[in-house]
């Protein structure tokens, strides 16, 4: 089977190199050879950049996730550049054909269905292969659901971790959440409407029910909604009301561990030693305060010896 993308005649391509702005044609030059990573709107088609329009109209070919989705954008701006599908299900077969076109000097624009390519899609493999083959790779930045959600969530933005989509299966999702515990950064992830409540409930159980979060839905679209609250409250809010549309979930950073003074540490350790073994007391206190386990063990050992008196046996 031949997976080579369509190749219209050069004369036909030359006649197509324009886009419409306020219904007026804007002529563009052919895009420089290479792979161009082009960000497209995440919802509102008016969010396209002028540079992106030039790139899409000036390319020889546009590689996209779903030709039906990208065609709507091209029709809005009167762009007739040929499309070829490139997504997770056909990437391994189509990638060699795209690389051949690049080697022949083609200008290829890579887009996703919405937002910035390579975020939760297979585009990075094409970028890596193109770079390894010595092809020029250029970015045309623009809209990103990840950054859009972060900017309207009302949570810290100085440090954040993009975690992608949670696993759909329960056990895998809970293990995935366990890896996020304690990360001192705002967490950003994507989720579908039908799974949102279950994911929020698991996040509440794994990260803390009172952890602040924001559900950002249909960003830049007509029914944009930002709902804030703690994880447990949000899980309950969506339990019987699964939302529609694209969802970005933003979660506040893990709280900083509370540091106790030396006198508070000693008092709390004494109480813990009265309830549980020395090992368990140290473990509980280290987890709760963030103090070094070795330091706590030495202090707890001294307290236990003083409490027992000389010759009272080994610590439990």
Query: pLDDT by residue (tens digit) across 97-146?
Result: 999 999 999 999 999 999 999 987 779 999 999 999 999 999 999 999 99
Query: pLDDT band for position 214 (50/70/90)?
Result: very high
Put residue 194 in one of left, alpha, beta given phi > 0 → left and psi -120 to 50 → alpha. alpha
Residue 289 pLDDT exceeds 70: no
Q: Judge whether residue 78 has pLDDT over 60.
A: yes
pLDDT at 102: 98
Q: Are 39 and 141 in contact (CB under 8 A)?
A: yes
Instruction: Give the DSSP letter string of the chain.
Output: ---PPP---HHHHHHH-EEEETTEEEE-PPPPSEEEEE-B-SS-GGG--HHHHHHHHH-SEEEES-HHHHHHHHHHTT----EEE--TTTHHHHHHHHHHHHHTT-EEEE--SSBSTTSSSTHHHHHHHHHHTT--EEEE----HHHHHHHHS-S--SSEEEEEPPPSSHHHHHHHHHTTTT-SSEEEEEE-HHHHHHHHHHHHHHH-TT-EEEEEESTTSTT-EEEEEEHHHHHHHTTT-PPPS-EEEEEPPPPPPPPPPHHHHHHHHHHHHHHS-HHHHHHHHHHHH---HHHHHHHHHHHHHHHH-TT-----
Global confidence as pTM: 0.77
pLDDT of residue 269: 74
CA dist 155 to 149, 175, 234, 238, 277, Å?
Answer: 10, 25, 15, 21, 40
Q: Is the pLDDT of residue 210 over 60?
A: yes
Two tokens at 27? 């002529």
Q: Which has more confidence, 294 or 6?
A: 294
CA 112 – CA 34 distance, rounded (Å): 17
The answer, yes or no, to whether residue 218 has pLDDT greater than 90, is yes
Mean pLDDT of the chain: 88
Kindly state the percentage of the chain with pLDDT values over 90.
72
């Amino acid at each position: 089977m031949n997976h080579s993308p369509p190749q219209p005649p050069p004369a036909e391509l030359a006649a197509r190199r324009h886009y419409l702005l306020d219904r007026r044609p804007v002529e563009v030059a052919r895009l420089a050879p290479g792979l161009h990573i082009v960000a497209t709107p995440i919802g509102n088609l008016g969010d396209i950049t002028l540079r992106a329009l030039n790139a899409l109209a000036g390319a020889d070919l546009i590689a996209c996730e779903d030709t039906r989705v990208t065609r709507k954008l091209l029709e809005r701006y009167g762009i007739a550049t040929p499309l070829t599908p490139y997504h997770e299900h056909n990437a391994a077969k189509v990638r060699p054909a795209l690389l051949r076109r690049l080697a022949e000097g083609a200008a290829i624009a890579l887009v996703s269905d919405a937002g910035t390519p390579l975020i939760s899609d297979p585009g990075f493999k094409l970028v890596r292969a193109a770079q390894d083959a010595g092809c020029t790779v250029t970015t045309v930045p623009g809209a990103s659901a990840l950054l859009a959600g972060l900017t309207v969530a009302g949570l810290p933005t100085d440090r954040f971790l993009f975690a992608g989509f949670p696993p759909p299966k329960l056990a895998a999702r809970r293990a995935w959440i366990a890896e996020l515990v304690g990360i001192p950064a705002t967490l950003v992830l994507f989720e579908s409407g039908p799974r949102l409540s279950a994911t929020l409930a698991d996040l509440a159980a794994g990260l803390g029910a009172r952890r602040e979060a924001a559900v950002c839905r249909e960003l830049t679209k007509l029914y944009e909604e930002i709902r804030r609250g703690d994880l447990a409250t949000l899980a309950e809010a969506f339990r019987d009301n699964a939302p529609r549309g694209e969802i970005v979930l933003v979660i506040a950073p893990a709280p900083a561990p509370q540091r106790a003074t030396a006198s508070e540490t000693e008092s709390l350790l004494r109480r813990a030693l009265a309830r549980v073994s020395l090992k368990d007391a140290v473990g509980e206190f280290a987890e709760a305060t963030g103090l070094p386990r070795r330091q706590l063990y030495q202090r707890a050992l001294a307290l236990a010896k003083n409490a027992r008196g000389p010759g009272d046996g080994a610590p439990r």
